[in-house]
A and B are shown apart, each in its own frame.
Chain A
Amino acid sequence: MTKANSSPTHSDTKPPFHKRLLAHQESGLVLVIILMSLGLTFFGMLNPAEARSQIELDEGSVVLLLDAEGTIHESGTIARTMIATYRVQKGATNTDYPASEIDKYDSTTATLYARTTINPFLNKTNLVLVTKDASFFAIIAVGMTGVIILAGIDLSVGSIYGLCAIVGAMALQSLPSDTSWIIAVPVGVLVCTVVGTLCGLANGSMSEGLGVHPFVITLGMMAALRGLTVVLPQELFGTQSIGGFPESFTTGFFKAEFNGVYPVPVIIMILCGIAGWFVLSRTVFGRRVFAIGGNETAAKYAGIPVKRVKILVYTITGALCGLSACAYLGYYGAAETNAGNAYELQVIAATVIGGASLMGGRGTVIGAVLGAIIIQLINNTLIIFEVDTSYNQIVMGAAIIIAVVIDQTKQRIQARRA
């Protein structure tokens, strides 16, 4: 009798590749994103949106508006529906565009726009916008995943984000407008992440040092830091918002255009996601986080420095708030005192939708990032379906509650079976 016949090897019992793929926590999220995208693409094919593209006119060209009888009208004297032809005249050369091909003519800027149609979902601008909008809180969700795996919570992330943005804005505003990106970007990143790191360190140290539940500490910090975010610009500049950064920091870096889109915040989100995944799943530190979240007492007896790990996780979360705030500053070119208001809810929602358990011991960074994208995809769906934004929160709230309830019910059923 051969060994192979006597007992099945490990590889014999391994489920097939597609089953292993589906068993992955993130595969379900990817499936949801694919299904939603397919639905939206199909809807967009049935209901294409009108778009416009500028027609380049030669210098010295004049645009004439002709009605159906060929009579020329001056702009502002004829309704758009009465125009039959847009004639571009340059010297003796005429180029005629039928009205059906033209979206509009703007006499103020002498610009002629051609009419085109696009799929309102499946176009690169929209896809990058959705992921860009998700990126600001997805970056923070990377840190929040660690906090939630520890069975903790950080309610101050929105306020840390706001404070980092305001302090970062003050630093950037003080730079000369022609500062090179080599200086402006490190200054912005450094100031924002240092402020965030200090706030996160304060959260972790107070929570662990004073033995107070992080819910209470971060709730207090949420209020205190928000107050600071309002008071600082008010007292120092007498304003609610701060702008006027070097262009090298905004359009030169964080809002740099690549092929008609602005992907830098998305790239930062992806890099943070990969780094977070690596730290949590491939390092000793990551194993310790899961061990503490799974059973803190056992982790203590196993010699894991529980307090140090916890403080570090809160500190990293603060630093990520700073990094996200820096991306926000660069993309929008200003900071206001409301920045990040109620962000904690979106961040926690993304993390929970991503599969993290509020009881601790379970969660993935990639899941949290995908959760953030799903939240923005729901927002985008409402816009594409032209649904009033008042319904946005209802849909979002329902999605979160049902996801968590079903997840917990399944856990209970599995526990009973075990």
Chain B
Amino acid sequence: MRIQNTLFSLVSISALALVGCSGGTDSEKPAASDSAADSSADIVYKIGVIAKSNSNPVFQAAKNGAIAAGKRLTAELDGASVEILWQTPPMEDAQVQAQYVEQLVSSGVDGIAISCTDANLLTSALQGAVDKGVVVVTFDSDAPDSGRMAYYGVDDKEAGKEVMRQLAAVMGNEGKVAVLTGNPAATNLQARVDGVVEQAAEFENIETPMVYSFMPETATEAAAKMQQVQSANPDITGWALVGGWPLYTDNALDGIYENAKIVSMDPLPLPLEYAMKGQVQVLVGQPYFGWGEKSVEMIVDKLHFDRSPSSEMVYADFDIVTSDDAEEFAKGWDLWLGED
């Protein structure tokens, strides 16, 4: 009887936890229909949103964007409503994402918006969803062979070019540039680095940038790498960061910002503090809130009006944040992270 008791307790705790959790769900459900006779009011568009990881603040913004779009569209649509189901693994894990795709399809969702941790691994699961009539939109990271309706995000190569353009401007179009990247095998980072190098070639007085990578992609590893490189190469006068990794720790740029100009991707709350202090000159941002918002809009447009975007690659503009407007930009994060 020992095991039975144990397991009954297991069931109880699961049930209790579920009951407790159900009040705190982030699934945004529409209000109940006032008129049962109105058949159109029965239409509820269920959209599963799968980001890469729950622990990354940029995806928290994407989640809030999706929820905001769901609420707005529910108010705007005539007789239909939108329900957002947030299904994101705690850590980046393509296999878990694929499992979420399959389970969401099995539970009858109408659409899925996903940022793919690994396109190869997710292609088959997304193809299965498309085959079953689910509208799929990718954001941030694409799975081009999955049959998805559209991709929304920035062009990574253009992002790299923009970082270099901004850096050249603050360096006065001359000097020695170093590029900091994370996993050198990551295709999105490769494209950004290519963009930086390609754009740097446009400037006569800027040497071909040296590229420095680090693994694992943690803030401390990134900061240590920058410190070591700057120490060994004091003639570096500009840093192009194709991701904001070192800026997620304090004092990461000590000994660097005094000697070099720095332009980075990702104007998140912590990197913005570096910009406010003047240690980072420009931050190039992606549409974090828009990842969720625009993806949900595109899916609902397809479901409700049977309208597809004119191109399957929907590129977003960059946010350019300088030291002068960093404080203003930081206020946006209060909204995007739902702290307002």
> Which of A77, A81, A374, A388 contacts B27 (CB under 8 A)?
A388
Q: Is the CB of B306 within 8 A of A126?
A: no
Q: How far, in whole Å, are A102 and B113 apart by their CA atoms in the complex? A: 23
* Contact in complex: A28, B4 (CB < 8 Å): yes
Asked whether any CB of chain B lies closer than 8 Å to the CB of A306, the reply is no
Q: Which of A35, A100, A381, A390 has the most CB of B within 10 A?
A: A390
The reply to whether the CB of B183 lies closer than 8 angstroms to some CB of chain A is yes
Give A388 to B63 CA distance when docked, in angstroms.
Answer: 11
Known A-B contacts A36-B14, A81-B77; A29 and B3 likewise in contact (beta carbons under 8 Å)? yes
Q: Within 8 Å CB of B104, what residues of A?
A: 383
- Asked if residues B106 and A129 are in contact (CB atoms below 8 Å), the reply is yes
Q: Mark A273-314, 1 if CB is under 8 A from B, else 0.
A: 000000000000000000000000000000000000000000
Whole-angstrom distance from the CB of B59 to the nearest CB of chain A? 11
Please give me the residue from chain A that is nearest to B46 by CB atom. A50
- Residue A108, interface by CB 8 Å: yes
A199 CB, nearest partner CB in chain B, Å: 20
Given known A36-B14, A395-B18, contact A338–B120 (CB-CB < 8 A): no
- Whether A240 and B6, one on each chain, are in contact in the complex, defined by CB atoms closer than 8 angstroms, is no
Whole-angstrom CA separation of A125 from B129 in the bound complex: 13
Closest to A374 in B: B10
Chain B neighbourhood of A395, CB < 8 A: 13-14, 17-18, 21
Interface residues of B in 26-40 (CB under 8 A from A): 26-27, 29, 39-40
- The answer to whether B17 and A111 have CB atoms under 8 Å apart is no
Measured as residues with beta carbon below 8 angstroms from the partner, the interface class of chain A is 35 or more
Kindly identify, within residues 72 to 131 of chain B, every residue whose CB is under 8 Å from any CB belonging to chain A: 77-80, 85-95, 98-100, 102-104, 106-108, 110, 117-121, 123-125
CB neighbours of A244 from chain B (8 A): 120
Among A148-156, A182-190, A406-414, the stretch in contact with B: A406-414
Q: What 0/1 pattern do residues 390 to 401 of A give for CB contact below 8 A with B? A: 111111001100
Using Cβ atoms and an 8 Å threshold, which residues of chain B touch A28?
3-8
CB of B107 within 8 A of CB of A126, answer: yes
From residue A122, how far is it (CB to closest CB) to chain B in Å?
Answer: 11
Q: Which residue of B has the minimal Cβ distance to A255?
A: B124
- A contact residues around B39 at 8 Å (CB): 99-100
* Chain A-chain B contacts (Cβ-Cβ < 8 Å), number: 234
* A25 CA / B39 CA spacing, docked (Å): 51
Q: Which residues of B contact A389 (CB under 8 A)?
A: 54, 86-90, 100
In the bound complex, CA of A380 to CA of B14 (Å): 12
Contact of B43 among A80, A129, A133, A242 (CB under 8 A): A80
List A contacts of B103 (CB < 8 A): 126, 129, 133, 379-380, 383
Which of B18, B125, B186 is A385 in contact with, Cβ under 8 Å? B18
Docked CA distance A104–B46 (Å): 13
| Closest chain A residue to B26, Cβ basis | A388
- When chains A and B are docked, how far (Å) is the Cα of A108 from the Cα of B135? 11
Question: CB of A64 within 8 A of chain B?
Answer: no
The secondary-structure label for the interface of chain A is helix
* Size bracket, chain B contacts: 35 or more
B308 at the interface (CB under 8 A from A): yes
- Whether B13 lies near A338 (C-beta < 8 A) is no
A267 contacts the other chain (Cβ, under 8 Å)? Answer: no
In this assembly, does B303 line the interface, its C-beta being within 8 Å of a C-beta of chain A? yes
**Shortest distance from the beta carbon of B178 to any chain A beta carbon, whole Å:** 21
Q: Tell which of A104, A120, A239 touches B187, judged by Cβ atoms closer than 8 Å.
A: A239
Q: Find the B residue at minimum CB distance from A243.
A: B120
> Which residue of chain B has the shortest Cβ distance to A383 in the bound complex?
B103
Tell me, rounded to whole Å, the shortest Cβ–Cβ distance linking A1 to chain B: 37
- For chain B, residues 301 to 324, give those with C-beta under 8 angstroms from any C-beta of chain A: 302-308
A/B interface sample: 25 pairs, CB < 8 A: A28-B3, A31-B7, A32-B11, A36-B14, A52-B132, A76-B307, A81-B77, A81-B304, A104-B306, A108-B308, A120-B108, A129-B106, A230-B215, A239-B185, A242-B120, A338-B118, A339-B94, A353-B10, A382-B21, A383-B87, A390-B88, A391-B25, A399-B17, A406-B5, A406-B6
Task: Given A81-B43, A336-B94, output 19 extra A-B contacts at Cβ < 8 Å.
Answer: A22-B4, A27-B4, A28-B5, A29-B3, A32-B10, A50-B46, A105-B306, A113-B133, A136-B95, A241-B119, A333-B123, A336-B120, A338-B93, A339-B94, A341-B91, A380-B103, A385-B22, A388-B86, A406-B9
**For the complex of A and B, 5 pairs with smallest distance between CB atoms:** A334-B120, A243-B120, A49-B108, A81-B40, A28-B3
